Amino acid sequence: MSLTHLSLFSGIGGLDIAAEMARIRTVGQCEWADFQTKILEKHWPDVPRWRDIRTLTAESFYERTGLRTVDIISGGFPCQPFSVAGERKGKDDDRYLWPEMLRVIREIRPTWVIGENVPGIINLALDTVLSDLEDERYSAQAFVIPACGVDAPHKRERVCIVAYSINRCSTLRWDRELPNTFEDAGERNDNRRGAEGTVQGERRKDESGVAGMADGISENIYETASNSESKRLQGFADPQICWGGGTTGIS
């Protein structure tokens, strides 16, 4: 059985394509704009769709999909409240729709939450987003990842928010070999490296693209807001990860 995915603020389906590549089934989409909706209708004609997130409720989701919950809810909630182009009004902007995404998360209770936004959210609302997720019993962290870290020819940093349900975590069988922290996972990867010094599927440090990305971003993890010793992200991901050590000169 494949994992299930509910896509909020779907746009033209970028995260939906990523889900397909990972063999995750998108079971619902929500998109306001007409042009983007036409793209979604063309490529996902059988997927139930909402035009206004305020109409997406647990009841309507069940009526249209037959599902009570999903494994993943993703959403690049509108960035205009946090971007320079949108005058950075933050929570005073009518397009500040994080509370609606949070409501959908609260009602549907996915195992995972994936959020995306512009770096301007860091000083305006990221504390609120992480605290809200914690209040709903999710363990949440945010990372700044540049597009050049995955071979795009430009920098274009984005804040990625990843949250996992603490309630679901507590039901796991802890006799399995599961990492408790990112550090534990890194240690196990070190132990799995073969003669060429790589984990299966991992690029060597001298290769371009994502190689070394974790090294560049690890110092910029934005810890959950309730952590009294949390780091407040001042800079962004290490530009030296771009193009295998060189930068593009494009910001």
List pLDDT tens digits, range 237-246: 333 333 333 3
Min mean pLDDT across 102-111, 154-163, 226-235 is at 226-235
Cα gap 111→88, rounded to integer Å: 31
Task: Return the active site residues.
Answer: 79
Q: What is the mean pLDDT of residues 129-153?
A: 94
Beta strands in 31-89 (DSSP E): 49-50, 72-75
What is the Cα–Cα distance from 89 to 81, expressed in whole angstroms? 5
* Confidence band of 172 (pLDDT split at 50, 70, 90): very low
Does the pTM of the predicted model rise above 0.85? Answer: no
Predicted pLDDT of residue 84:
82
Q: Which of 17-21, 169-173, 209-213, 234-238 has the lowest mean pLDDT?
A: 209-213
| pLDDT tops 50 at residue 104 | yes
Q: Could you report the per-residue pLDDT of 73-95, keeping only the tens digit for each? A: 999 999 999 988 878 988 999 99
Give percent above pLDDT 90 in the chain. Answer: 59
Where residue 125 falls among pLDDT bands split at 50, 70, 90? very high
Q: What is the CA radius of gyration of the chain?
A: 19
Residue 168 pLDDT grade (very low, low, confident, very high; cuts 50, 70, 90): confident
Average pLDDT over residues 170-181: 45
For 196, other C-beta atoms within 10 Å of its C-beta total: 7
| Closest to 105 (Cα-Cα) out of 63, 130, 73 | 73
CB 51 within 8 A of CB 34: no
What is residue 100's predicted lDDT score, i.e. its pLDDT? Answer: 97
Fold of 4-245: Rossmann fold (3.40.50)
Return the H-helix or E-strand segment holding 138: strand 138-146
Beta bridge partners of 98: none
Residue 9 or residue 213, greater confidence: 9
Write down the domain spans for the chain. Answer: 4-245
Residue 235 has pLDDT above 90, yes or no: no
Going from the C-alpha of 234 to that of each of 47, 95, 162, 220, 228, the distances in angstroms are 40, 26, 19, 8, 17
